[in-house]
Amino acid sequence: MSETIRESAGVASAGPPADVELRSVGPCQYEIACRAGTGMRVPARIFADEELLGQIRRDRSISQLVNVTTLPGIVDAALGMPDMHEGYGFPVGGVAATRLPDGAISPGGIGFDINCGVRLLVSDLRGEDVTPSLEALVHEMSRSVPAGYGRHGRLALTRDEMDRVLGDGCPYLVREHGLGRPEELALIESGGVIAGADPSQVSERAKRRGEDQLGTLGGGNHFIEVQVVDAIFDERAARAFRLFSGQVTVLVHTGSRGLGHQVCTDHVKLMDEALHRYGITVPDRQLACVPFSSPEGRSYFGAMCAAMNFAFCNRQVIAQRARDVFRRVLHDRPGAELRLVYDVAHNTAKVERHGDRTLCVHRKGATRAFGPSSGEIPAAYRGVGQPVLIPGSMGTASYVLAGTDEADALSFSSTCHGAGRAMSRGAAKRRVQGHVLRKELLARGIVVRCPSNQELAEEAPLAYKDVDRVVDVVHRAGIARKVARLRPIGVVKG
C-alpha cells in the first residue's frame, strides 16, 4: 500500500510537530519518521490495518506513541500494537526498548496493573460433556474466586509470607503451600518468578493493599471464562499445546490488584521528582523516567518485579481454585482435570537480549511472542513457538497464537494483548443496558456471573475493537501466527 495517512499528533510544545505522516512500510505496518528538531530519537511504528487505524485515531494514542520516541536510550522504534488506545503516558498496546545500563525505565511504560496477564488451562472434555453442569460450574467458580473492586480473598498472608510471595513467586506457593504442580512451573512465563524482585522496595501501603487479595479477580476487564475450542488454524502447534476442536478450556485474566497499582503510584511520584536531577525533559509528565541504573531506577525495577511475582501467584491460586471447582462439580469425572498450557504477562519491563544488545523492553498492554528457536520458552514448545494468549472482549472469541522468530526484529518479540478498547467505559454505559446485555449473552448460550449490571455494560463487546481483526493483523505482520480460537460459554466478572 502506498497511501499516506495524516494525523494530528497534539503533543506538547517540547515534543514532535503537530502534523505527522503515517507511511506504509510493510504488511500492516505504518511508520512516523523522525524529524529534526522534534525530540524524536527513533521512528514510531504502528501495526494495524486501515479500519483499526481509524479507531486508533479517535484518541490521543498516536500522540502518546510519538512522545515515547523521545525517551532517553530508546532504540529502533516506539511500537504500537493493533489494540492500541490511550493510556497513562504510554498508549496501552505500546512497546519500547531502551539500551542498558543507562537507558530510561518509565512506570508509564508498564502501567498501574503490573503483570495483568492470562493463564490458559485445558481439560480433556468436550463442550457437550459440561453442558448439563455449566450453570453449576460458573456459579461455583464465582463463589470460589472473589471478584470485583476491593474484594478480598480467603488466603490472607502474614508479612513474612507476603515477602516470600513477592521475592520467590510461584515456586514458593508450590513448595510451601502445595498450590500447583512443580512440573508446571516451566509453563509460566519466566518460571513464575522474576529475578531482580526486591520486596524491600515495595511500600508498606502496597503490601497492606495486597495482603488479602491473593486469589481474587478484581474488576474492569478481568475475568474467568469457561470456553470451547471452536477453530484450529495450525494443527502442529495445536498438538504441541494440547488443544483440539470442541475442547473445554478455562482462561484466567487478572493481575497484581491493589498492590501493583500502589507500586506504580509510589514510584511515578518519585520519578517525577527525580527528572531534573538527571537532566531529563519529557513532553508529558506522565512519561516520567530515570536511567535504569540509577538508584530510583533500580528501586522501581525491584518493586515492579516483586509486583509481577504477586500477579503470577494470584493467577496460580485462582487456577488451583478452578481445578477444585471442576473436580467438585464434575465429581472427578475422567478428563475433567485441568492442565496448564501457559501463563503470559502483560504490563511489564523485562531485561532481555535482542541480538547483541541488552535491553529493557517495556510492554504496556502487550505481551511476549518468542519464536520457535528461543531458549526462553519451555522445551516442549521449542520448534513451535511460545503460546501467546489473546483474550477477547466478553461474549467474543479469544485466541491462542504462537510466537515467531521474525518477531525479534519486528517487535522485540512482542505482540498485542487483547482486543483493545474502542470506547470508554462511560460511553459504553450510555450505549448499553447491563441487564439487557446479560439476557442477550444468555440467549447465545453464555452463562454470566457478574453482580453489577453497570460493570457488565462497561465491558460490553461493542466497547472493544474486533478481536478477529486485531489477531489477523499480527498474523499478517508476522509477529505471531494463529493456532486456535476459543469461544466463551461461561463468564465470571467482578
Confidence (pLDDT) at 154 = 67
Q: Which three cell numbers stand for residue 74?
A: 530508546
For the chain, the domain total comes to 1
Q: In what helix (H) or strand (E) does residue 121 lie, and over which residues does it extend?
A: strand 117-126
pLDDT surpassing 50 at residue 13: no
Q: What is the mean pLDDT of residues 56-74?
A: 96
Residue with the three cell numbers 521474525: 406
Q: In what helix (H) or strand (E) does residue 342 lie, and over which residues does it extend?
A: strand 339-354
- How does pLDDT run across 399-423, given as a tens digit for each residue? 999 999 999 999 999 999 998 877 7
Q: Is residue 244 part of a domain?
A: yes
Main-chain phi, psi angles of 486, to 5 degrees: -120, 130
Nearest to 490 by CA among 435, 437, 450: 450
Q: Which domain holds residue 454?
A: 117-343+372-404+422-493
Confidence (pLDDT) at 303 = 98
Average pLDDT, rounded, for the chain: 91
Rounded Cα distance between 331 and 198, Å, is 42
Q: What is the mean pLDDT of residues 419-446?
A: 80
Rounded Cα distance between 461 and 277, Å, is 45
Better-scored residue on pLDDT, 455 or 65:
65
Q: What is the mean pLDDT of residues 424-446?
A: 80
Confidence (pLDDT) at 155 = 76
Q: Is residue 137 part of a domain?
A: yes
Q: Is residue 150 part of a domain?
A: yes
- How does pLDDT run across 221-231, given as a tens digit for each residue? 899 999 999 99
Percent of the chain past pLDDT 90, that is, above it, reads: 80
Give the CATH number of the domain where residue 164 resides: 3.90.1860.10
Q: What is the mean pLDDT of residues 115-143?
A: 96
Q: Is residue 193 part of a domain?
A: yes
- pLDDT band, very low/low/confident/very high, at 452 (cuts 50, 70, 90): confident
- How does pLDDT run across 260-282, given as a tens digit for each residue? 999 999 999 999 999 999 999 99
Q: What is the mean pLDDT of residues 134-158?
A: 82
Q: Is residue 393 part of a domain?
A: yes
Confidence (pLDDT) at 224 = 95
Q: Give the dihedral sign, CA 266/271/273/274.
A: positive
Q: Is residue 6 part of a domain?
A: no
Q: Do 145 and 318 meet the contact criterion of CB atoms below 8 Å apart?
A: yes
Which member of 85, 261, 346, 417 is catalytic?
A: 417
Residue-wise DSSP of 198-257? -GGGS-HHHHHHHTT-TT---STT-EEEEEEEEEES-HHHHHHTT--TTEEEEEEEE--H
Confidence (pLDDT) at 257 = 94
Q: Give the dihedral sign, CA 457/463/468/470.
A: negative
Q: Is 475 a catalytic residue?
A: no
DSSP classification of residue 74: B
pLDDT surpassing 80 at residue 72: yes
Confidence (pLDDT) at 148 = 63
Q: Is residue 50 part of a domain?
A: no
- pLDDT band, very low/low/confident/very high, at 153 (cuts 50, 70, 90): low
Q: Which three cell numbers stand for residue 134?
A: 455449566
Confidence (pLDDT) at 340 = 98
Percent of the chain past pLDDT 70, that is, above it, reads: 95
How far lies 259's CA from each of 199, 249, 252, 266, in Å? 12, 29, 19, 11
pLDDT surpassing 90 at residue 313: yes
Q: Which three cell numbers stand for residue 485?
A: 480460537
Q: Is residue 79 part of a domain?
A: no
Q: What is the mean pLDDT of residues 209-221?
A: 89
Confidence (pLDDT) at 152 = 60
C-alpha angle 349-350-352 in degrees, rounded to nearest 5: 145
